[in-house]
Amino acid sequence: MATALGVTLISGALSGALSSVVSQPADSILTYVAKSKHGDGESLGMVSVVSKMIETEGVGSLFRGIGGRCIWASAIISGQFLLYDIFRTALGINSDDLSQVFQFVISK
């Protein structure tokens, strides 16, 4: 039981960290666009924003704040996985209970 919960926590932490790394550049771009909006209604495209960010602040600007976000997402997702496993075990639900079989019968 302890090993299963450990695996759950580790997989949740890795999932949270990976999802943060994948989604952080998009959030950085959105933040940059929101901070640099001009009153003249000028809208910048994604490619131009990325080019401008890299040109002025370097590639690291796409990953600014990644450490805190990884910790936050890892904790949240690990907690969700842990609660799922605890309740699944407490209710006596196993993998066979979670599978569904659909049968289609076609009659003439």
In degrees rounded to 5, what are phi and psi of residue 69?
A: -70, -40
When the pLDDT of each residue in the chain is averaged and rounded to a whole number, the result is 86
Rounded Cα distance, 9 and 28, in Å: 28
For residue 77, the tally of other CB atoms under 10 A from its CB is 21
Cβ atoms of 69 and 24 closer than 8 Å: yes
Tell me, rounded to whole angstroms, the distance of Cα 48 from its chain centroid: 25
How many Å apart are CA 9 and CA 81, to the nearest integer?
A: 7
At 71 the pLDDT is: 96
Q: How many CB atoms lie within 10 A of CB 13?
A: 18
What is this structure's pTM? 0.71
The pLDDT value recorded for residue 39 is: 55
What is the pLDDT at residue 26? 92
